[in-house]
Amino acid sequence: MIGEYARRTTAVFTVVVLAALSVLIFIDVIGRYIFSSPLPGSIELVEGFMAVVMLGSLTQATYSREHIRLEFIMIKASHGWRTVLEKLSQFAVLLVTAGIGWGLFERTLSLRDSGDLTPVLHLPIYLMAGFAFLIAVAAIMVAARLLFSPDSSDLPSGEPNHD
Amino acid sequence: AEFNLRIANWNPNPHHAVSVALNEWADKINKESNGRIKVTVDKAIIGKPAGQYDLIKQGVVQAGWGALPWTPGRFELSQVVELPFLVPSAEEGSRKITEIWQKHFADKEFTDTKLLAIHVHSPGVLHTKEKVTSPADLNGMKIRTIGSGVKWAEALGATAVVMPASKAHEALARGVADGILFPWDAIKSYRLEKLLPYHLEVPNGFYTIAFFFAMNQKFYDSLPADLQALIDANSGPETAAFLGRAWDAAAAKTRSDIAADPDHEINTVTSEVLSDLQQRSKTITAEWKAKAEAQGIDADAVLAEFSE
Amino acid sequence: MTEIEVTILVVSMLLGMMLLSIPIGASMAISAFTGILILYGFDTASFIIGEVAMEISFNYELCIVPLFILMGNLATRSGMSADLYEGCSRLFGGLKGSLAMSTIAACGCFAAVSGSSLATATALGQVALPEMKKYGYSDALATGAVAAGGTIGVLIPPSIILVIYGVLTETSITDLFVAAVIPGIMQLIIYTLTIVIVVRMWPKSAGAGTPTTLKQKLSALPKLASMVSLFVLIIGGLYLGIFTPTEAAGFGVIFALIIGLIRRSLSWRHIVESLKSTTRTTGMIALIVFGAFMLINFFVLTRANITIADYIVSFDAPPMLILLSILLIYLILGCFLDSIGMVLLTIPVVFPIVQNLGYDPVWFGIILVIVVETGMITPPLGINVFAIKSIVPTVKLSTIFKGVTPFWAADITRLALLIIFPGITLFLL
Ligand code: NA
Ligand code: NA
């Protein structure tokens, strides 16, 4: 299924970029302190990597249902109501990921028109925004899949964060 | 009021020279329009600094201001004023660049808003932790800057450290930077005076930063002719000069405080160092010229107008 | 609709959605978007959502969050937290209540990882509670220690919640981290004293504890070394001005990795698991930060937060009275919500008020974190207590609250000290 494929690809990609981000910052600091030459454009590289980490992570957190919420009504609710509330939550998350996706898409078009570049490396910002949009699409797909799967039990429920 | 004119303000510090000047401008419009336009200046930032221009273009607000270097590549013709040694004062520089925009760039930049003025900050000074009087002293120093300042800092022999002004204090306190290119007033408003005891001035400034003050085009078009005329009368080179003057006043105040402080030392470059600096600035100027000529601009004519 | 009506609508929507168990980040985003849409139309709403999406994605400062979470995950998975627990119990061995003290220390470290004392109470409760049961600890002391322990780690740097507070309010994260050190250590000491007092007053509440020889005590020190050196590297580096917080986070990851590899306790699998777990936590934070930024933009557009702040200041009440009222509200609300959610939800409105009153934003950040964390163990509603109840259903709720009350009293004492003497928090800056 294309949704699952997108999620897995995003998961692997996010993890790789997160590792690269740590290394990038490490090299930047070493460069500045020891060789007195920081990595040129390190800030914009970090920002670009962060877009992947944040949106890719959003995909993962949605998948493993880790979002913070008030649960006391949920706990008291009957099984039927709990399903309703769960679907409502999933619908809300789908709306938000869709909003993020739409917003990034809209920004991508507008930044392409204005031709803004990053300050040091002169990378076209619209390409970066467009890439972020693609990851947001993966988040939308995951949220939609959660909402429309009749029984969520085929998906892992909130894996404990620290196993 | 018939019309609400909201001015977005990315620097809501109520004491900032431009905040003060914009409030003055707002009062003037309120009064001269007999209350038909109600102008308000924001006290908090909407969105990100880099998004301020689009904020106006999209009509989220009716007017606002922001720095040109935040959107690299978008306004590079108007950024000519940021080149070294072009701005004797913010007032003069602001008037001049707005005139130049009207004459040379109006069909190329700021075409999607009603540009009210381009203004600049007071001539840039080099503030450092260690004494600097020539490029030799700058060798290996880490200088915080943005935009075209990066190439300039490098041409001066320093290492450029790029970060937002709001992080300057942290960068200097933590040794991430050893100095900064900044207008005088910013030294006080970003609380840097304890960190930077040495200041090096050059005639007409090391650099400056250009800012736009722009209005949403649709909003302008929606005004009746008499109110449009009112806005026209309160925009252009003289309004730019007014904004620049406010900045000059703030800079002069900080400069005189610092000059009176025995912990600080203000130096001016010697004529030999100045000619060395001018030599070093040639690549920066040539780079702008190439970009401008590629867009069909008579770059030499534009540069010559600065010395008129 | 007027701006006031729409603001009321947005706040009602927000509360309603939250009560229906909809994720807080989504509740904030949807209600703020609706408000902007009604007042300013589709173009503005879609522009703002795009700007905010760009802001949470391409954000340099926020990279501290995933990096510190990753560092903590690596440290935990390489066994550094477990070593700390064991090292402490050897070090305190023979002392009455030593296991409870070790639990406090371990919970502190664990919460430092997750940034959430709620997650800590749930996760470590499963390990520490059976252990203390085995050594004859009373249910009250055992559960109380677990519920309270996690709240230490949330404040002691690296503190995820302080990073988010710093990004939202444009307060220096270094200053926040440095300012958190003394209140954090105070908490560690006060909690330890609390345990000493509790076991003296109620000797039956703790087992005797196996005495350890001096040699055993000394052998505990290397076990503590990894975690302590990681902490010292980060705080020392920040305090001495060697690192910015971002650099400290990047270094922390590499350093935790190196220690793990030297100890030969970090496998490839551990590393991959740490990365994956980090993305799950980061994604949770991404949604809630997105919601908070949307809400902030709604308030700035309507100017509602400034209006409210001006209105409150116009009462001319003594600033301390207003501050204490705000803190009381936080203490009550803090009972229901994890701290990160609590802070993000309220900062758009509360911060301008506190600023108007003239309080130091660094000091307020520290006080805020302490208050919302205290809320989480406040009888009779604190959310941490319910989390523990779900792990040990046989223990009565009233017993857990009885156990947590001495720690709560300790927290309130410390809070009072920090409010009366702001210098305790600020003098390291
Ligand atoms: Na922490
Ligand atoms: Na809380």
Q: What pLDDT does C205 receive?
A: 87
Q: Which residues of C touch A78 (CB under 8 A)?
A: none
pLDDT tens for A88-143 read: 999 999 999 999 999 999 999 999 998 888 878 889 999 999 999 999 999 999 99
**Pair (C382, C402) in one structural domain:** yes
In this structure, is residue C115 part of a structural domain? yes
Q: What pLDDT does C112 receive?
A: 67
B151 touches chain C (CB under 8 A): no
Q: Which residue has the tokens 């223990």?
A: C395
Q: Which domain, by its residues, includes C50?
A: 1-58+282-302
In this structure, is residue C355 part of a structural domain? yes
pLDDT band at C113, cuts 50/70/90?
low
Higher pLDDT, C114 or C74: C74
Which residue in C303, C357, C417, C380 sits closest to B40, CA to CA?
C303
**Chains touching chain A at 3 or more Cβ pairs under 8 angstroms?**
B, C
Q: What is the DSSP letter of B61?
A: S
Give CA separation, B254 vs B164, B190, B258, B267, C208, in Å: 21, 12, 6, 15, 68
Beta carbons of B150 and A119 less than 8 Å apart? yes
Q: What pLDDT does A33 receive?
A: 75
DSSP readout, C207-240? -------HHHHHHHHHHHHHHHHHHHHHHHHHHT
**Pair (C47, C135) in one structural domain:** no
In this structure, is residue C29 part of a structural domain? yes
**Pair (C225, C290) in one structural domain:** no
Which of A38, A116, A122 shows the shortest C-beta gap to B74? A116
State the nearest Cα–Cα gap between A148 and chain B, in angstroms.
34
In this structure, is residue C257 part of a structural domain? yes
Count of domains for chain C: 2
Beta carbons of B170 and C44 less than 8 Å apart? no
Beta carbons of B176 and A117 less than 8 Å apart? no
Sort strands B3-8 and B37-41 into parallel, antiparallel or unpaired: parallel
Q: Which residues of B touch C429 (CB under 8 A)?
A: none
Task: Write down the ipTM of this complex.
Answer: 0.88
Q: Which two tokens stand for residue B47?
A: 């969105």
pLDDT band at B160, cuts 50/70/90?
confident
Beta carbons of A116 and B54 less than 8 Å apart? no
**Pair (C327, C367) in one structural domain:** yes
Rg of the Cα trace of chain C? 22
**Pair (C30, C157) in one structural domain:** no
**Chains touching chain C at 3 or more Cβ pairs under 8 angstroms?**
A, B
**Pair (C296, C353) in one structural domain:** no
Q: What pLDDT does A151 receive?
A: 61
Q: Return the percentage of chain B with pLDDT > 90, whole number.
A: 81
pLDDT band at C411, cuts 50/70/90?
very high
**Which residues on chain A place their C-beta less than 8 Å from a C-beta of chain B?**
32, 36-38, 43, 110, 114-120, 122
The residues, ordered by sequence, that sit 6+ positions from C268 with a Cβ below 8 Å of its Cβ are none
In this structure, is residue C271 part of a structural domain? no
In this structure, is residue C316 part of a structural domain? yes
- Rounded to the nearest angstrom, the distance between the alpha carbon of C333 and the centre of ligand 2 is 7
pLDDT tens for B60-106 read: 999 999 999 988 889 999 999 999 999 999 999 999 999 999 999 99
**Pair (C324, C415) in one structural domain:** yes
The residues, ordered by sequence, that sit 6+ positions from C123 with a Cβ below 8 Å of its Cβ are A160, A161, A162, C110, C114
Q: Is the pLDDT of residue B166 over 80?
A: no
State the nearest Cα–Cα gap between B264 and chain A, in angstroms.
27
Q: Is the pLDDT of residue A159 over 60?
A: no
**Pair (C356, C411) in one structural domain:** yes
Between CA C313 and CA C320, with CA C315 as vertex, the angle to 5 degrees is 65
In this structure, is residue C273 part of a structural domain? no
- On average, the pLDDT of chain C sits at 88
- Rounded to the nearest angstrom, the distance between the alpha carbon of C116 and the centre of ligand 1 is 9
Alpha helix ranges (H) inside A35-78:
42-63, 72-76
Which class for C313: exposed (0-12), middle (13-18), buried (19 or more C-beta within 10 A)? middle
DSSP readout, C266-320? --HHHHHHHHHHHHHHHHHHHHHHHHHHHHHHHHHHHTHHHHHHHHHHHT---HH
- Rounded to the nearest angstrom, the distance between the alpha carbon of C160 and the centre of ligand 1 is 6
**Pair (C104, C15) in one structural domain:** no
**Pair (C254, C355) in one structural domain:** yes
**Pair (C30, C174) in one structural domain:** no
Q: Are C331 and C383 in contact (CB under 8 A)?
A: no
DSSP readout, C319-333? HHHHHHHHHHHHHHH
Q: Is the pLDDT of residue A163 over 50?
A: no
Q: What pLDDT does C335 receive?
A: 84
Q: Is the pLDDT of residue C232 over 90?
A: no
Q: What pLDDT does A153 receive?
A: 45
Q: What pLDDT does C243 receive?
A: 80
C-alpha span between C140 and C142 (Å, rounded): 6
* Mean pLDDT for the stretch of residues A40-65: 92
In this structure, is residue C276 part of a structural domain? no
Q: What pLDDT does A154 receive?
A: 43
Beta carbons of B170 and C172 less than 8 Å apart? yes
**Pair (C386, C407) in one structural domain:** yes
pLDDT tens for B193-234 read: 999 999 999 999 999 999 999 999 999 999 999 999 999 999
Alpha helix ranges (H) inside C115-172:
117-134, 139-155, 160-169
- On average, the pLDDT of chain B sits at 93
**Which residues on chain B place their C-beta less than 8 Å from a C-beta of chain A?**
50, 54, 69, 71-74, 140, 142, 146-147, 150, 159, 161-163, 176
Q: Are C226 and C80 in contact (CB under 8 A)?
A: yes
> Which of the given ranges, B153-162, C151-160, C292-301, has the highest pLDDT on average?
C292-301
Beta carbons of B51 and C174 less than 8 Å apart? no
